[in-house]
Structure 1
Amino acid sequence: MTPQFEYSQNVNPEDVKRLGNILDQCFLELDESESYFNRIGVENLRVIHQNEQIAGGLAIIPMSQWWGGVNVPMTGIAAVGIACEYRGTGAAIALMQHTVKELYANGVPISVLYPATQRLYRKAGYEQAGSACIWEILAQSIQVREQPLPIKPVVPINLELFHDLYQKQARLNNGHLDRNQFIWQDVSRPLEKQTPYAYIIGEANQPQGYIIFSQHPDKDGAILRIRDRVVLTTAAAQTFWSFIANHRSQIDKIRWRSSAVDSLSLMLPEQTAKIKHISRWMLRVIDVVKALEKRGYPTKIQTELHLKVEDDLIAQNNGKFILSVANGRGEVTKGGKGEFKLDIKGLAPLYTGLFTPQQLQITGKLQATETSLDTATQIFAGSSPWMIDFF
């Protein structure tokens, strides 16, 4: 730990003002800082000082994330910003290390962030863990006409109508958030001053999905940006594409967030949907025992994996652990053979299933016996992790 920096969980009004100035300079696309702080909560800000001068700060976002069909408590990290004059001094890594230690002390199993640079966050134990892709399609190319379900506007937008539908879809997708109020507000907040619109798919007493979107002018033609969507049935998926296609007289392109392999595009007659942008968010296992015990696992397997973990920041995460899996849940005990060796960074993409154990071994992220590789493959099998939300 860098000794010359002082970490603070209690941020005074003067620090809030100064941190706002720092973040305004760091993030050209960040909301006006006062509005952002009001939405995220001043109590969730953390700052770091040197000689009583604020060097930078960040925001923590307490929420949860779905893994193996189970809701795992997770803290998101956002708006990490360091004042220009303190960059290169070690302030950023000191800030992240202090934050990770605070999360461990508070019993948080895992933490997730969207990195501007990987190098910093890898030093703090984070690693690539899931996909965040932006897809695009020309409206004219959708060519889906049949609409089996009614689709009705929700005016004004009442987010409570969408909560249960979202949860049904989220629990089926590894990495999806159990959204808190801050994330839900972001879904329906005007984007680039363009009005959001919301529609329920299906009958009001038995909805099968929804869509929230906004329309944006662009030099290459108008764009419909899908802010959020839930599609729970085949009929809902057909209706979704038909509804989007019906915008083709005014809209040139459709953009939406999805995984690297978008299942909804399978319904299109041709492969006209393309990935416009792909990136990966990062995860850190804050507490090895809690993280492994709180996620879900395949229900049909009963086995155990003997891990040996190295973590140069959280001493309690070091050592040998036995992960015993049965009936879809895991139990961790100390000890074992330690035949599956990895550091805390390597544990992140294994935990999420972004890469297979064999892929992680080839890239030098772990060392394991053939038997333990096969066991880990069974344990961490599941859908490829992704998020529709950005924070």
Structure 2
Amino acid sequence: MTPDGYGPLGPADRDSAARLARLGFGHPRELFDRYAALFGEETLRGVRAADGTVAGCAAVWTMAQWFGGRPVPARAVAMVAVDPALRGRGIGSGLMRGVLAEAAADGAALSVLHPATLPFYARLGYGRGGVTVGWSAPPAALDAGPVEDGRILPGDPRDAAPLAVLRRRLLAEETGLPERTEAMWTLALSPDGEPAEVFLLAGPDGPEGYIAVAPPRDRQLVVADCCLPTRRAIRLAMGLLAGYRAQVETVRWLGGPEDPIALLSREIGVRPDSRKSGCCALWTCAGPWRCAAIPATCRAGW
């Protein structure tokens, strides 16, 4: 049952939601507006105080999460924020109960989010669903040597379709990866609003993976996105990153605790700099989603 005061936020509530995002996460208005434009204002949800003002907000959207080689309907949740003056009154819990009730009614099998605090979401039924590690290394540590049967080709950050085809192999083989929406692809390939440089990693039979890097800045190179399903694709990506040694001092990327680039690189200087937990809530295994892979959601990385 949806709590009283919970529901969609309309255009008249946009300023209130932007204010809560700034107070909760430090998001500037420009960033909030970019996310709203990408995902759509219809993704905003809120809970209202007795006087009708927006006391808490969240962004929600539907996507597929892959388990056991098949997509499972999931509800993604982000930007959960409550007015600081009204915290401690159960507003956040009421907001999230509304989010989960709506998701279940829409047929989602699970919900996923990156939590700001684990205990709060654990009380709502979420469990730890994996860890994203921020890695860094000097470019020289990533030199994997020549890949004689591989080629690096230019890609187009404005066309995610061929990249999605390459990523489909990972979706089918790994556990818990999301199938990206158009908005998610845009954020992956243009994280700060400027398109990243995309490189296709090809073998004798064509592209096997890809890597996207942001322009070097402050002697650092940041990997915006990558898909490395083969050892050849991993080594090609590492060679590409190592080639920036004259321009940057540090390469940064996101991966799992057993990241393939970290595992294949030279150990000197490769280090994990940060860890970010993901959570998932599973509230039904009924109907077509009754499969052994889904309960593993809260144990697998995604």
In the superposition, the TM-score normalised over structure 1's length comes to 0.71
Aligned to 1:363: none
TM superposition shift of 1:155: 4.5
Question: Unaligned stretches of 5+ in structure 1?
Answer: 298-347, 355-384
TM superposition shift of 1:386: 2.6
**Pair 1:173 & 2:174 matched:** yes
Q: 1:233 aligns with which of 225, 230, 233?
A: 230
The aligned runs of 1:297-336 (5 Å cut-off) are 297=293
The secondary structure found in structure 2 opposite 1:215 is coil
- Contact 2:280–2:298 (Cα < 8 Å) also in 1: no
The aligned runs of 1:58-73 (5 Å cut-off) are 58-73=58-73
| 1:144-201 CA distance string (max 9 Å, x none) | 221331112225642122110011122222121111111111011252x665111111
TM superposition shift of 1:353: 6.0
Aligned to 2:153: 152
Distance in 2 separating the partners of 1:184 and 1:99: 24
Which residue identity lines up with residue 24 of structure 1 in the other structure? Answer: R
Which residue identity lines up with residue 142 of structure 1 in the other structure? Answer: L
| 1:74-102 CA distance string (max 9 Å, x none) | 11101111112211111100000111111
**Pair 1:118 & 2:118 matched:** yes
Distance in 2 separating the partners of 1:231 and 1:35: 29
Question: How much identity, in percent, do the aligned residues show?
Answer: 23
Larger RCO: Structure 1 or Structure 2 (Cα < 8 Å, ≥ 6 residues apart)?
2
- Contact 1:107–1:287 (Cα < 8 Å) also in 2: no
Distance in 2 separating the partners of 1:263 and 1:189: 23
Aligned to 1:33: 32
Question: Unaligned stretches of 5+ in structure 2?
Answer: none
The aligned runs of 1:341-380 (5 Å cut-off) are 351-352=296-297, 354=299
TM superposition shift of 1:117: 1.0
Which residue identity lines up with residue 297 of structure 2 in the other structure? Answer: T
The aligned runs of 1:1-391 (5 Å cut-off) are 5-9=4-8, 11-29=9-27, 32-51=31-50, 52-148=52-148, 149-155=150-156, 157-191=158-192, 195-202=195-202, 206-218=206-218, 222-270=219-267, 272-290=269-287, 293=290, 295=291, 297=293, 351-352=296-297, 354=299, 385-387=300-302
Are the structure 2 counterparts of residues 93 and 271 from structure 1 closer, same or farther at C-alpha, using a change threshold of 3 Å?
same
The secondary structure found in structure 2 opposite 1:32 is helix
- Contact 2:72–2:289 (Cα < 8 Å) also in 1: no
Which structure's CA Rg is the greater one? 1
Which residue identity lines up with residue 97 of structure 1 in the other structure? Answer: R
Are the structure 2 counterparts of residues 266 and 284 from structure 1 closer, same or farther at C-alpha, using a change threshold of 3 Å?
same
Tell me how large the CA RMSD over aligned residues is: 2.4
The secondary structure found in structure 2 opposite 1:146 is coil
TM superposition shift of 1:240: 1.4
- Contact 1:195–1:215 (Cα < 8 Å) also in 2: no
TM superposition shift of 1:43: 1.4
Q: How many matched pairs? A: 299
TM superposition shift of 1:274: 1.7
TM superposition shift of 1:259: 1.0
In the superposition, the TM-score normalised over structure 2's length comes to 0.90
Are the structure 2 counterparts of residues 155 and 63 from structure 1 closer, same or farther at C-alpha, using a change threshold of 3 Å?
closer
